[in-house]
Structure 1
Amino acid sequence: MYFLTKELYFPPVEEASYEGILAVGGDLSIERLLLAYNNGIFPWFDVDEPILWWSPSDRMVVNPKDYKVSKSLRNIINRNIFEVTINKDFESVIKNCQEIERKDQDGTWISNDIIESYTKLHQLGKAKSFEVWQNSELVGGLYGVDLGHVFCGESMFSKVPNASKVAFVKLIEYLKQNNYKLLDCQVHNDHLEKLGAFEISRNAFMMILKS
Structure 2
Amino acid sequence: MMFAEEACKDQPVTQGLWKVLIVDDEEEVHHVTKLVLSDFIFNSRKIEFLSAYSEAEARNLLNRHNDIAVVLLDVVMERDDSGLKLVRYIREELKNHLVRIILRTGQPGRAPESNVILEYDINDYKEKTELTAQKLFTTMVATIRSYRDIVTIDKSRKGLEKIIKASSRIFEIQSLKRFASGVLEQLCSLLNMENDAVYSTIGGVTAAREDDGFTI
Note whether the superposition's TM-score is higher than 0.5: no
| Higher relative strand content | 1
User: For the pair shown, which has the larger CA radius of gyration, 1 or 2?
Assistant: 2
